[in-house]
């Protein structure tokens, strides 16, 4: 009798891949154990731009907390979720703080020394030679996006790999996002978020500023924060240190 071989199914194609990456996260520098005060002040911030914070991942920085006192993580996490945030981890804190954070399924993170960016341990899954195409992609020319028509309320325009250039006006309720700069050659009445991947050198330029919100690398100002000196004028929005600045464009 002939021997029959058992047929094996071919190896399936990979179902996933793990890579280290960088994302822009909101960092809350907690300076008080009194969560009632935290809640009151956070409500003011969130009410200025509720959509900006909705479902935003947030990291809790405990390094500026007074040593006397403990963080009620259950209450704090519930508070943040109630305001629409998604708590993902903590920075700093005592051994007990970290144990409590782990119990709440929060990651233990560290801050980069120079940039202040939140960093997690890298995930190494590839050999060096396998990373060569990826490195070439990093130095490739940016993919700028050009829009020649008016951006109307409810529209969202995103340039994930470069600058966003709008050759018309941007209406109230519209949203512009770019990894690089944002240029608006018309009225800017909606929201403009430049450097959304953490590029602190990014800027927002417009011919007439009356935005609902402007942001660079997570630092933002809402319409109520705009001074009369820049409203309706050609302006640029940029970071100076950790402060968001708005200045007139020189003719």
- pLDDT tens, 8-44? 566 678 888 776 666 667 888 999 988 889 888 888 8
**109 three-class SS:** strand
Residue 126 pLDDT exceeds 80: no
Residue 130 pLDDT exceeds 50: no
- pLDDT tens, 212-238? 889 898 888 888 888 999 999 999 999
Q: What is the mean pLDDT of residues 74-79?
A: 84
Phi then psi for 88, rounded to 5 degrees?
-120, -20
Q: What is the mean pLDDT of residues 101-113?
A: 78
Q: How far is CA 31 from CA 37, 65, 69, 97, 106, in A?
A: 10, 5, 11, 15, 19
Residue spans per domain, the chain: 26-119, 140-248
Q: Would you place residue 55 in the very low, low, confident or very high pLDDT band (cuts 50, 70, 90)?
A: confident
What's the pLDDT score for residue 135? 43
Mean pLDDT of the chain: 81
Q: CATH classification of 26-119 is 3.40.50.1970, yes or no? A: no
Which of these CATH numbers, 2.160.20.70, 3.50.50.60, 2.60.420.10, 3.30.2130.10, describes 140-248?
2.160.20.70
Q: What is the mean pLDDT of residues 69-88?
A: 85
Share of the chain above pLDDT 70, in %: 80
Could you check whether 26-119 and 140-248 share the same CATH topology? no
- pLDDT tens, 144-192? 999 999 999 888 898 888 999 999 999 998 989 998 999 999 999 999 9
């Amino acid at each position: 009798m002939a021997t029959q071989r058992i047929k094996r199914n071919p190896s399936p194609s990979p179902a996933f891949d793990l890579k280290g990456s960088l994302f822009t996260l909101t960092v809350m520098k907690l300076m008080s154990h009194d969560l009632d005060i935290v809640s009151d002040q956070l409500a003011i911030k969130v009410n200025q731009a509720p959509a900006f914070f909705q479902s935003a991942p947030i990291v809790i920085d405990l390094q500026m907390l007074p040593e006397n006192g403990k963080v009620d993580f259950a209450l704090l996490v519930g508070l943040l979720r109630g305001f629409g945030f998604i708590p993902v981890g903590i920075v700093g804190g005592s051994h007990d703080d970290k144990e409590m954070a782990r119990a709440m399924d929060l990651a233990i993170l560290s801050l980069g020394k120079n940039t202040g960016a939140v960093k997690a341990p890298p995930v190494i899954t590839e050999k060096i030679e396998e990373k060569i195409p990826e490195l070439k992609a990093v130095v490739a020319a940016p993919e700028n996006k050009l829009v020649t028509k008016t951006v109307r309320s409810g529209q969202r325009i995103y340039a994930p790999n470069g600058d966003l250039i709008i050759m018309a006006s941007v209406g109230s309720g519209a949203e512009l996002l770019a990894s690089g700069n944002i240029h608006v050659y018309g009225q800017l009445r909606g929201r403009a978020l430049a450097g959304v991947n953490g590029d602190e050198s990014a800027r927002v330029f417009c011919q007439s500023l009356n935005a609902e919100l402007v942001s660079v690398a997570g630092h933002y100002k809402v319409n109520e924060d705009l001074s009369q000196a820049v409203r309706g004028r050609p302006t640029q929005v940029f970071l100076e240190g950790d402060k968001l600045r708005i200045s007139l464009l020189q003719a």
